[in-house]
């Protein structure tokens, strides 16, 4: 098989890149090691920056997003029993849209199927070859058959544990990582959200987040120990603990119900440098991970795709390489700003076991400054709604 761009991974970054390339007349094939059902079953965050929304519109998949997505012009930060609203729209003129990553993935899958572009699911033993030369190739097994795709470029969009980054020689890449000493216990339920906007909570018992997927489906998170298991958290215990961490008004308004899904996710900050290795480019979670506190994971994947897509279009239409040559530097500049913001939000709103009384006093001083400073709130809002691409 021969194609122009082989895309490894059928998550949002791979599907978005594939959809944009297809609409631009650039041939591409997507390889995914899991089934479509498995990909759609992954529960992820869903706060979209304006830039990500515009890219989905450009890809022709924005109709359901605009019909069902929830536009939020602010967030609440709760601390010491009181809620403080950060007016995102008033401070920046921009808003965010709450629309689940599962829904984004489904819209992109449907569009790809309608376009007739090829996606190979359950691609096993994927290996990347020749990307440091003029003729890259991707080998894999599917349906018991060994297969090979020759291509001009490879886009590694296969996540943190994927084969793309692992295919790079160790001496050619540098990884930067911080693993946080706690996780997020998440619960999804068909209950109305406790508030029309997200509530971030710092409490002496730990962080909490009240989020949503729609007017009838809520997503809640609790900071927990990584030593704990989901089985230790029956619904009744989760709801009781969440209510303890909320401010009085939210605790009174909270509607509980059976969980649809429950899981514990570790938190880490991670960046790989560089993002280009000959004719192989890394994008999305294959290149970076952010703690979810800043709502940046899916949005960073979208900006990676923006830079990579523009470079590929320039190459195939005009024969120029400046966009591809600049991809790593441009993407990393935005990635590190988002990493800093996500780290700051995580440090601000979580209880760290090694912080002690001094660390708690620093958190208090930081929050008091944030709530009393227009400049500090503006900086938070500008980062939350997304820096320009």
**Side-chain-side CA neighbours of residue 131 (13 Å):** 24
121 catalytic residue (yes or no): no
118 strand-pairing partners: 29
38 catalytic residue (yes or no): no
384 catalytic residue (yes or no): yes
Q: How far is CA 60 from CA 57, 111, 262, 343, 389, in A?
A: 5, 8, 32, 33, 20
For 253, other C-beta atoms within 10 Å of its C-beta total 14
| Triad 300, 3, 276: Cα angle to 5° | 40
Distance, CA of 43 to CA of 380 (rounded, Å):
26
315 catalytic residue (yes or no): no
106 catalytic residue (yes or no): no
Question: Of 72, 288, 315, 350, which residue is the catalytic one?
Answer: 72
* Interstrand relation of 5-8 and 153-156 (parallel, antiparallel or unpaired): parallel
Q: How far is CA 284 from CA 9, 12, 231, 272, in A?
A: 10, 9, 31, 11
Q: Is the peptide bond before 132 cis (omega within 30 degrees of 0)?
A: no
Distance, CA of 286 to CA of 215 (rounded, Å):
33
Question: Of 203, 288, 296, 350, which residue is the catalytic one?
Answer: 296
Give long-range contacts, CB 8 A cutoff, 24+ apart: 86-92.
86/377, 86/380, 86/381, 86/384, 87/377, 87/381, 88/381, 88/384, 88/385, 91/377, 91/378, 91/381, 91/382, 92/378, 92/381, 92/382, 92/385
Question: Of 140, 180, 200, 307, which residue is the catalytic one?
Answer: 200
For 44, other C-beta atoms within 10 Å of its C-beta total 16
Distance, CA of 34 to CA of 52 (rounded, Å):
25
Tokens matching residue 231: 């089985």
* Cβ neighbourhood burial of 143 (10 Å; 0-12, 13-18, 19+): exposed
Question: Of 292, 307, 327, 350, which residue is the catalytic one?
Answer: 292
263 strand-pairing partners: 186
Question: Of 99, 140, 180, 384, which residue is the catalytic one?
Answer: 384
What residues are annotated to the active site? 72, 200, 292, 296, 384
């Amino acid at each position: 098989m021969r194609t122009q761009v082989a895309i490894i991974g059928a998550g949002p970054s791979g599907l978005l890149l594939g959809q944009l390339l297809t609409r631009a007349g650039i041939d591409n094939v997507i390889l995914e090691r899991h089934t479509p059902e498995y990909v759609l079953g992954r529960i992820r965050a869903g706060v979209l920056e304006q830039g990500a929304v515009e890219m989905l519109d450009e890809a022709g998949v924005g109709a359901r997003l605009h019909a069902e997505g929830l536009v939020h012009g602010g967030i609440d930060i709760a601390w010491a029993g009181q809620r403080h609203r950060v007016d995102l729209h008033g401070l920046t003129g921009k808003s965010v849209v709450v629309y689940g990553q599962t829904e984004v993935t489904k819209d992109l899958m449907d569009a790809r199927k309608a376009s007739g572009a090829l996606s190979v699911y359950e691609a096993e033993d994927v290996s990347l070859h020749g990307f440091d030369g003029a003729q890259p190739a991707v080998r894999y097994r599917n349906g018991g058959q060994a297969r090979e795709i020759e291509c001009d470029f490879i886009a590694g969009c296969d996540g943190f544990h994927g084969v793309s980054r692992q295919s790079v020689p160790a001496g050619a890449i540098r990884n930067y990582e911080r693993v946080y000493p706690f996780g997020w216990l998440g619960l999804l339920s068909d209950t109305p959200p406790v508030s029309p906007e997200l509530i971030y909570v710092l409490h002496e018992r730990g962080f909490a987040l009240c989020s949503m997927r729609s007017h009838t489906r809520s997503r809640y998170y609790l900071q927990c120990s990584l030593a704990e298991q989901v089985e230790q958290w029956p619904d009744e215990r989760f709801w009781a603990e969440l209510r303890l961490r909320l401010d009085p008004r939210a605790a009174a308004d909270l509607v509980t119900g059976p969980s649809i899904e429950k899981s514990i996710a570790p938190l880490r900050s991670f960046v790989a440098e560089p993002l280009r290795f000959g004719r192989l480019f890394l994008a999305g979670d294959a290149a970076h991970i952010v703690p979810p506190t800043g709502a940046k994971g899916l949005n960073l994947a979208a900006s990676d795709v923006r830079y990579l897509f523009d470079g590929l279009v320039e190459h195939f239409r005009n024969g120029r390489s400046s966009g591809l040559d600049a991809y790593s530097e441009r993407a990393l500049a935005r990635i590190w700003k988002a990493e800093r913001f996500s780290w700051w939000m995580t440090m601000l709103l979580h209880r760290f076991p090694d912080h002690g009384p001094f660390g708690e006093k620093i958190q208090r001083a930081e929050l008091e400054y944030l709530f009393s400073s227009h400049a500090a709130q503006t900086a938070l809002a500008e980062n939350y709604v997304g820096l320009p691409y």
